[in-house]
Amino acid sequence: MPLRLHLRDEPQAAASRPVSGRGLLAVMCASVVLVVGMVASINLAVPMLAASDLRPSASALIWIVDTYVVFFACLVIPGGAAGDRFGRKGVLLAGLVLFAVGALLSAVAPDVPVLLAGRAITGIGAAAVLPNTLAVLLHAVPAERKGVTIATWASMTGIGGVVGNVGGGAVLSGGSWRWLFAAAVPLSLVLAAWVARIAPVSPRHDRPLSLLGAVLLVGATIALLLGIVEGPEAGWGSPIVLTGFAGAIVLFALWTFVELKAEHPLLDPRLFRVPALRSACLGMTAIFFGMFALFYVNASFLQYGKGFSVLMTGLGIIPMTIPVILGARHVGRLVQRVGVDATIAIAFAFGGGGLVGLSTNDASTPYFVYAAWLVVTGIGVTLALPTLSAAISGSLPPAQAGVGAGLQATTREFGSALGVAVIGTVLTGRFVDALPPDIRANHDPHTVAQALAVTTPDRAPEVISAFVTGTSTALRVIGVSVLVFGALVVLQSRLSRTRGNQ
């Protein structure tokens, strides 16, 4: 059957063809796993990329990871609006095809700029896919199945991270980072063909698109990350870093002004006047800030520091998922027993404390100790995600449920991008400082691969030791930051409840 983009969905078509409920749920969930898995799997390829013929700098490595996440985060709300306006099935199909195009461009990239362009295209495709998978499902399933369907769909965002690590590790065992992107091409095209065959069309809504708001949000986020990422190599007082931070301030201000004036804003800044919503969004950002910062350094630490293969590295993160598998169903009961604020406080204590605990590991620490701290961190994530998701949804009226879903996706991906940028920046700065003075003075390397390439094999342990030192410092900074953010979230939440009761 030829692939057709239904950019003008007609309600009559839905009735003309029976829809397989299980098949539709399977393909939508698989699409979610694909786009979320790409966020996690790229971290496993960082050591390969660092040692590749592309010769990326430390900041370029961070951008290779973050470019996808930035476009994904900033365009997921416009992606949902585009589905409402032009047809959810058509935009979903377009997103899967864009994802394939971007992955193919990344796989054959001859240099870093082309790879970044491929990552950006893939992120745009992911932003079109994620919100419209849920929209297609909710249109197709009967009312009594919507709750179960939403819960199943939401669980895929967590499963996607695990599949990305394990599946990415298996693919990268082939020996080249290019295989990771090449494998995504047939997967996305098969899913597109499956969607074209079985997904129903749904009515269109004349929901306007705030294109200017989307462009300003993307630009402001990139400018902020530019200032953070380029600091260690260019210098914190360099023109590019100062321009990045100044540009972020100006663009975020312009975005706020445009959105306040817009009749149909992309994301209404006035929503953040609601204290409970503001604290929950900060909490969601902070949890993903910590989690994806960990993903970024975990892959390199296990490969460089402990000598794990790329497949074992992908499997090495699994202990973090054990609490999710065993404990997610019990979170609601804990909230009922001790309250929302206490649950969030416990979540951040475990999440931040686990990251600080991980920072105490070195190359000689047994893996089971490292795994135990992953479990501690996983307990924090398990407690935080459903509690904060419910807090975001509960802070908005039912008519704005779509806005709440978009906010959750945006805060998750923004936190992920920020976490990678911050931990990569701290890691690079501390790694350079910890290198032996002669290596630093003679070669000025900023990545492990660069340092290993310019030193003799007998000095490799010194380079690895410097990297482990940088990893420990970076994880400690992230862990303490998560604890501080958690305290702010709980304080803001308690204040909002106190004022609400007065």
Q: What CA–CA distance (Å, rounded) separates 196 from 6?
A: 9
At 48, which CATH number? Answer: 1.20.1250.20
CA distances from 431 to 58, 235, 427, 443, 470 (A): 11, 15, 6, 14, 5
218 and 359 share one domain: no
> Do 218 and 190 fall within a single domain?
no
* DSSP letters spanning 162-177: HHHHHHHHHHHTTS-T
Alpha helix positions (H), 317-400: 322-327, 331-338, 340-358, 367-394
* Residue 295 lies in domain: 273-502
Percent of the chain with pLDDT over 70: 92
Give percent above pLDDT 90 in the chain. Answer: 46
Rounded CA separation 67/51 (Å): 20
Residue type, 408: Q
- Distance, CA of 461 to CA of 438 (rounded, Å): 15
pLDDT band at residue 200 using 50, 70 and 90 as cut-offs: confident
Total domains in the chain come to: 3
Residue at 343 is within a domain: yes
Residue 359 binned pLDDT confidence (cut-offs 50, 70, 90): very high
Residues 250 and 131 in one domain: no
Q: What is the pLDDT of residue 398?
A: 64
pTM of the predicted structure, to 2 decimals: 0.85
Residues 120 and 244 in one domain: no
Residue 162 lies inside a defined structural domain of this protein: yes
**131 & 232 share domain:** no
Q: Do both 259 and 288 map to the same domain?
A: no
Q: Which range among 217-221, 401-405, 451-455, 468-472 shows the weakest confidence by mean pLDDT? A: 401-405
Residue 1 has pLDDT above 60, yes or no: no
Q: Are residues 254 and 335 in the same domain?
A: no
- What letter does residue 267 receive in the DSSP assignment? S
Q: What is the pLDDT of residue 152?
A: 77
**Taking residues 108-112, what's their average pLDDT?**
96
255 and 324 belong to one structural domain = no
- What integer pLDDT is reported at residue 63 of this predicted model? 92
**For 56-176, where are the alpha helices, taking DSSP H only?**
58-86, 88-107, 112-140, 146-172
pLDDT over 60 at 151, yes or no: yes
Please report whether residue 288 resides in a domain: yes
Q: Is pLDDT at 216 greater than 50 in this prediction?
A: yes
Residues 330, 424 within the same domain: yes
* pLDDT tier, 3 (very low <50, low <70, confident <90, very high otherwise): very low
Q: What is the pLDDT of residue 302?
A: 93
Give residue 501's pLDDT band: very low, low, confident or very high (50, 70, 90).
low
Within-domain flag for 50 = yes
60 and 131: one domain?
Answer: yes
Using pLDDT thresholds of 50, 70 and 90, give the confidence band for residue 17: very low
What is residue 443's predicted lDDT score, i.e. its pLDDT?
Answer: 80
Residue 457: band (very low, low, confident or very high) from pLDDT cuts 50, 70, 90: confident
Residue-wise pLDDT for 398-445, tens only, equals 666 666 777 888 888 889 889 999 999 999 989 999 999 988 888 888
In angstroms, rounded to a whole number, what is the distance separating the alpha carbons of residues 42 and 30?
A: 18
DSSP 110: S
Q: Are 429 and 228 in contact (CB under 8 A)?
A: no
How confident is the model over 9-32, as a mean pLDDT?
Answer: 65
Q: Which of 373, 333, 332, 382 is nearest to 353 (CA)?
A: 373
Q: Is the pLDDT of residue 8 over 70?
A: no
Copy the structure tokens of residue 468: 């482990």
Give the mean model confidence (pLDDT) for residues 313-320.
90
Same domain? For 13 and 132 the reply is: yes
143 Cβ contact list (under 8 Å, min separation 6): none
Choose the final residue of a domain: 228, 263, 298.
263
Task: Report yes or no on 268 lying in a domain.
Answer: no
Q: State the DSSP code for 459.
A: G
Burial 155-172, CB ≥16 within 10 A → b, else e: ebbbbbbbbbbbbbbbbb
Q: Do residues 152 and 254 both lie within one domain?
A: no
Residue 190, CA atoms < 13 Å, CB-side half-sphere = 9
